Chains A and B, each alone.
Chain A
């Protein structure tokens, strides 16, 4: 005897998302944060209908499951995640698919993240600090003066390589200013 009939199984959707965060985030912490923001926004009743479940998460991209009738609610729950265990983060839905395979192939690219280990410094008029990481043209800086990011409640100052062109005394003269 089968435990459940396949025709009665609820239809699922898999959401591929991207997590943009200041530090590395464990998947357990992320799952907990998603559940808290889910119950906060939808309540226990709504949460039981949406059935959110974190399937996989590799530090940047991940897949989350929900029922096909409650995609809108599930999306809003993901956008309401503001911080995970005190680390500022934001979740962006990349796409929705009917199977895990399709969601992975379509929406999850190869992660290109370069963590800067040389601790290079940036000294400009308005901001100075260490380069934390570089992703393409985006540069995150850990400022010496922590009070400048107090208003926006973040840890790092987000800049681009365009900002650093010419202004840095220690720049090694490459075209992108790094």
Chain B
């Protein structure tokens, strides 16, 4: 099975260059990574050097940080044709909802930031628009004590929603340096502790590949492909 890490921040968002992240990810057993920088899209340091790292597929995406739903809509329309993978930085309830309502969005990452959760309405719209939900496991190792307990509680609630509405799930660690990158095995054990099944985790780790393959085809309108 080919595993993908779907949300990585390279320098200047994080502290590691894209090729270093690719090198470490390859060693950890990933077959592809998607580099999604926040605001520095197109300004990534030494982007060409990635080509020298063999046997790993590096895709350029972006993670949108929007202030309000209108801002989000405008920027998804502008960026959709420029990137292969479009992620939305979740957290605010309005943004979560707006991202789930937009079929152009591929992934809504960490909707459960700061103790907020996904919500039933957003989950339903995400199912209709086929927006995947990204489970960010990084609070597992950077939070301690009460904060981590609260985060685990919200994640459990969201996982129940994800199962109920059969949403697409992706698992990531939102790495900002090679220290944050975890191997697929470590991710599996961490996710199992949160109540996910091993099969679910494997599916979630290889799901970005399916989305990338779909995005690479040229679509005239939903359901019609240009051959």
Contact = CB atoms under 8 A, between A and B. Distances in A.
Interface of A: 20, 37, 40, 72-73, 75-76, 79-82, 88-90, 92-93, 124, 126-127, 137-139, 148-149, 151-154, 156-160, 162-163, 165, 167
Given A40-B145, A126-B45, A162-B46, A20 B178 contact: yes
Contact of A157 (B16, B49, B53, B192): B16
Nearest to A155: B15
Contacts of B45: 124, 126-127, 163
A20 B28 CA distance: 13
A92 B15 contact: no
Given A152-B14, A158-B15, A79 B186 contact: yes
Given A80-B140, A152-B176, A157 B186 contact: no
Given A92-B28, A127-B45, A157 B15 contact: yes
Nearest to B173: A79
A139 B178 CA distance: 12
A153 B52 CA distance: 27
14 contacts: A40-B144, A76-B140, A76-B186, A79-B186, A89-B179, A92-B186, A126-B45, A152-B14, A153-B177, A158-B20, A158-B177, A162-B53, A163-B17, A163-B46
Interface of A is mostly: mixed
B180 interface: yes
Interface string B1-44: 00000000101111111011101100010000000000000000
With a 10 A CB-CB cut-off, give which of B9, B23, B140, B145 has the most chain A CB atoms: B23
B121 interface: no
Interface of B: 9, 11-17, 19-21, 23-24, 28, 45-46, 49-50, 52-53, 140-142, 144-145, 148, 176-183, 185-186, 189-190, 192-193
B183 A92 contact: yes
Count chain B CB atoms within 10 A of each CB in A88, A139, A158 and give the residue with the most: A158
A72 B192 contact: yes
B178 A158 contact: yes
B16 to A, nearest CB: 4
Given A152-B176, A157-B11, 13 more contacts: A72-B189, A80-B141, A82-B142, A92-B182, A92-B183, A124-B46, A152-B15, A157-B17, A159-B11, A160-B23, A162-B49, A163-B20, A163-B49
B153 to A, nearest CB: 15
A133 to B, nearest CB: 13
Nearest to A92: B183
A124 B180 CA distance: 25
B177 A152 contact: yes
B49 A154 contact: no
Given A90-B180, A137-B23, A156 B15 contact: yes
A126 B16 CA distance: 12
B176 to A, nearest CB: 3
A79 B46 contact: no
